[in-house]
Every structure is written in C-alpha cells, then in structure tokens.
Amino acid sequence: MVKICCIGAGYVGGPTMAVIALKCPEIEVAVVDISLQRIAQWNSESLPIFEPGLDEVVKACRGRNLFFSSDVEKHVAEADIVFVSVNTPTKTRGLGAGKAADLTYWESAARMIADVSRSDKIVVEKSTVPVKTAEAIEKILTHNNKGINFQILSNPEFLAEGTAIDDLFKPDRVLIGGRETPDGQRAVASLKAVYAHWVPEDRILTTNLWSAELSKLAANAFLAQRISSVNAMSALCEATGADVSEVAFAIGKDSRIGPRFLNSSVGFGGSCFQKDILNLVYICECNGLAEVASYWKQVVHINDYQKNRFVKRVVSSMFNTVSGKKIAVLGFAFKKDTGDTRETPAIDVCNGLLGDKALLSIYDPQVSEEQIRRDLAMNKFDWDHPQHLQPLSPTASSNSVRVVWDAYEATKDAHGICILTEWDEFRKLDFRKIYAAMQKPAFVFDGRNIVNVDELRDIGFIVYSIGKPLDPWVKDLPASS
C-alpha cells in the first residue's frame, strides 16, 4: 500500500489531498501542518477554508484513508510520496525584496524530510516555486549521507479557488516534471499512477523538471495578462464610449483568443497572480533578460492602475471628496465563492477610500470582521509571512470601518456603493429598496460589471460600471488628476 504525506494543509494541500484520498481508496493520505489550529479545523465540522463541494469530499474519506495531523515528522517518515505545499511568500527584505520568492518554509520542510527519512522517497513540489528550485531541494536532500534515494518531481497545481473540487475532479491537465534518468522516470510513473485513478491518460503530461516549474509561472502570467489586457481596454472604452463587455465578447469569438477569462474588473487578486509574476520578473532579471522582465512587470502595473483608477473614479464622481461620507463596500473576497482575501483588490480600494477619509460599511458573505480588519491593517506581502503577523489591535481603523452582516444594512444611509466581489447574491438585491434608504444623489460603482446599469439608472442611481459608457453625470465631470 502506498502512503502519501502532504506538508502544508492550506488552500492547495487540503483540497488536493482530499480528492486523491477520495479517488484512491487504497492509498493512505496524511495532511500535516505546523499550525495546530489549522489541523484542528480540518478535523472539525467547520473546515478552515470555504470551497464548494469540499465538505462532502472530506467527510467521505476523513478517518478512512484521509488524516489531518500535526505530527509532521511521523507521517513524513512513513510516506512513500511526500508532497510539499507550504507557503512561498514574496521576500519583503534583502536581495530581491518585493519580487523574489522566499523559500524559507520550503527549505525548512526539505531539511526536515532529510532528517526524519529512513526509506527512499519521492518528494513532489506542489506549491509554486521559482524555476530550478528542485535543484536546490535535491542538494539539501541528497547531502544527508544516509544512502537514501530521493527523487524530486514538480507537479504544479492549477486549481482555481471557488471551483477547486471541480478542477481537481476534471483537470484540463496534470503536469508532472521529473529527471530524465531511469530513477527519475520511475518516480514520474509512480505519481502518474496515482492520478490515473481518475484522470484520463492523455491529460497527464510529463516533462522535464524545469519545464514543469516554469509552466506553472507561465500559465499564471498568461492568465493575469488576459485580465490586464481587458482591463487596459476598459479604460479606453470609458474614454471612447465603447462597452468592454461587447468588445470582450467580440474578440472572444475568435477561436484563437477564446471567450473565457476576459471579464473586466476592478483588478485581479488572489495568492498567485501577482506573486508569481513578480517571481517571474525576478528570474528574468537574474538571467539578464531586462526586456522580458519589464514586459511582465507591466501586467502587475496595469492591475495597480486599475485599482487606483477605480478609487479616483469614486472620489471624483462624488464631488471630489468622500470625506465623512458613508460608502458601502459589497464584497471583500478576491472572487466569489471563496472566503479568501489574499491580495484582494478590495484591500487597495478600501485603503484608497480611507485615505480620502471615507467611512466604510463592509459586507461580505464569507469574510469575517477580524479578517477584514487584519487585512486593512497589514503591510504589503505580510499575509504570506505568518511570523510577521501581529495580534490585531482592537482599535485598528475601528472608527472609519464597520463590518456588517447584510447588504441592506451596509447600504442604509450610504452615499455610495462599491461592488468589489461578484457574489451571486449581489445580482439579486432589491435595488429599489436600497435606493430608498440611501442618501441622495445615490451612487453605485460596480467593479465587477454585475448590475443592470439601465435598470439602476431608471431607479435614480448614478452608475459607474467598469469599461461601460459613462453616466452623463460622471462624463461631464472635470477629468480627475
């Protein structure tokens, strides 16, 4: 019987291992983490992450062949295959600060594997890492002088949050990179056999290690680039009277471009896109490829521009000041169907509005008040450095921020509404009722293009929706600097 251990019970490790356990009943899967609290949550009724379908999968196999444990060393020692799915934050100081990946967690996991292992193991890079990380890990593992054979594989995860279980059940592809030696190829075949329990063979791609590592960074860079491209077009649409949804639909009909991932928004968020592009930029710079680095850097630059542009649009539309005005923020998660707020555009938008002295009333169906306050008080990149996180001061921004548990409560007496996450429930709101309870003129700033602009204008709202023809009210304002 094969035993699998996954180090890191996060957004990637937890759901991925749960699906492997479900699909491979004869394999024992242990998910381990240094965070006792995380492990306790995985063993409880209330899982640490919100992900549609995850509860059912975990319930079907927890205690059968899926175990969550904080006894990291025991499970690593017993495993044949060890997945490593720990955080790889952006460095905040030293060489490459603000770009390079900080491999502290990875390195300490590798050293621990080398220390506790008594039998040969396949070590799988699951978390996204810089190209050539496998080489460094190999050095740490093979210098143990114990005669143990470690094979390193790269098996990046392509799941997206909110659809993780579907993505894992029916992946577009599974990518496995390994050494081109007989031992390396045997390790690739062993991991392939795990996925072959449910993934058709032609969807399991095998490559060399560096291609697999780079493909993950490249895939995220291409996806993020699509969003920055359509967001760049949204600014031009607003300036010209074109409608970004119509433009995206028209270009998406070209089968070479394709229709998906072309929704203009207030900006992309999530734990991967910005981090992976900055990492890619750093790798390019280290390899002397300055032009390639600056090309990809622009994708992040446009994303920052889009968030700033949104804040400017809110402030300039509301008579150039939001000081003392109540702004309802609907949605804080970085996308719908997740409670994850890592790099959510809502943080920059809220901080921008708070900088202009707005009073925020925030509602998100899945994000807790503590998380929102913590996010608004946090330094850039600190979310992925648990050791930097301070206990939350009870007074942090408490005067200007209220967190409420209902969209109607959030919008009551508000001067304006900012929609920052595309939760389905926001599409069904009774905007007549909301309008009646707001200050006038009442503004809606839709950062996700989910409201029916004409209907809202008929009700009486002044409406701004990303990349759509501007409301006459907004259009006639002097351009904001």
Tokens of 457: 């204008």
Residues 6+ apart with CB under 8 A from 392: 370, 373, 374, 377
H helix or E strand, kind and range, residue 426: helix 424-427
Tell me whether residue 127 is annotated as binding. Answer: yes
Tell me whether residue 274 is annotated as binding. Answer: yes
Q: Pick from 41, 65, 85, 234: which binds ligand ADP (CB under 6 A)?
A: 85
- Cα–Cα distances in Å, from 67 out to 21, 71, 76, 202? 9, 11, 13, 30
Residue 8 near which of ligand ADP, ligand UDX, none (CB within 5-8 Å, type-dependent)? ligand ADP
End-to-end alpha carbon distance in the chain: 65
What's the CA gap between 430 and 454, in Å, rounded?
Answer: 15
Q: Pick from 2, 34, 136, 160: which binds ligand UDX (CB under 6 A)?
A: 160
Residues 232 and 454 sit within 8 Å (Cβ to Cβ): no
If one asks whether residue 90 binds ligand UDX (CB under 6 A), the answer comes out as: no
Tell me whether residue 324 is annotated as binding. Answer: no
Tokens of 293: 């680095």
What's the CA gap between 31 and 414, in Å, rounded?
Answer: 46
3-state secondary structure of 51: coil
Of the ranges 75-83, 156-164, 353-361, 430-438, which one interacts with ligand UDX (CB under 6 A)? 156-164
Alpha helices in 102-159 (DSSP H): 104-116, 133-142
Q: Pick from 124, 233, 272, 414: which binds ligand UDX (CB under 6 A)?
A: 272
If one asks whether residue 268 binds ligand UDX (CB under 6 A), the answer comes out as: yes
If one asks whether residue 33 binds ligand ADP (CB under 6 A), the answer comes out as: yes
What's the CA gap between 200 and 198, in Å, rounded?
Answer: 7
Residues 6+ apart with CB under 8 A from 314: 322, 327, 353, 416, 418, 443, 445, 464
Give me the sign of the Cα torsion angle 174, 177, 183, 187. Answer: negative
Comparing CB distances to ligand ADP, the nearer of 87 and 421 is: 87
H helix or E strand, kind and range, residue 410: helix 407-411
- Shortest separation between residue 251's beta carbon and ligand UDX, angstroms: 13
Tokens of 320: 């150039």
Q: Pick from 17, 30, 47, 86: which binds ligand ADP (CB under 6 A)?
A: 86
Tell me whether residue 284 is annotated as binding. Answer: no
Comparing CB distances to ligand UDX, the nearer of 75 and 297 is: 297
Rounded to the nearest 10°, the torsion over CA 168, 169, 170, 172 is 20
Comparing CB distances to ligand ADP, the nearer of 46 and 395 is: 46
Tell me whether residue 275 is annotated as binding. Answer: yes
Tokens of 240: 């010209």
Of the ranges 4-12, 356-364, 396-404, 460-468, which one interacts with ligand ADP (CB under 6 A)? 4-12
The residue type found at 335 is: K
If one asks whether residue 278 binds ligand UDX (CB under 6 A), the answer comes out as: no
What's the CA gap between 161 and 167, in Å, rounded?
Answer: 9
- Name beta bridge partners: 360: 327, 401
Q: Is 272 a catalytic residue?
A: yes
Q: Pick from 150, 282, 310, 334: which binds ligand UDX (CB under 6 A)?
A: 334
Query: Under rule CB under 6 A, how many of the chain's residues touch ligand ADP?
Result: 21
What's the CA gap between 210 and 12, in Å, rounded?
Answer: 21
Tell me whether residue 157 is annotated as binding. Answer: no
Q: Pick from 55, 116, 142, 158: which binds ligand UDX (CB under 6 A)?
A: 158
Tell me whether residue 89 is annotated as binding. Answer: yes
- Name beta bridge partners: 150: 121
Of the ranges 68-76, 87-95, 110-118, 269-277, which one interacts with ligand UDX (CB under 6 A)? 269-277
Fill in the per-residue mask, 289 to 308: x = in contact with ligand ADP (CB under 6 A), - = not in contact: --------------------
If one asks whether residue 34 binds ligand ADP (CB under 6 A), the answer comes out as: yes
Tell me whether residue 421 is annotated as binding. Answer: no
The residue nearest ligand UDX at its CB is: 270
Comparing CB distances to ligand ADP, the nearer of 153 and 438 is: 153
Comparing CB distances to ligand UDX, the nearer of 159 and 419 is: 159
What are the φ and ψ backbone dihedral angles of 470, each rounded to 5 degrees?
-70, 150
Residues of this chain that bind ligand UDX (CB under 6 A): 157-161, 220, 223, 227, 261-263, 265, 268-270, 272-273, 334-335
Residues of this chain that bind ligand ADP (CB under 6 A): 7-13, 32-35, 38, 72, 85-87, 105, 108-109, 127, 271
- Residues annotated as catalytic are 272
Which residues line the annotated binding site for NAD(+)? 8-13, 33, 38, 86-90, 127-128, 161, 272-275, 342
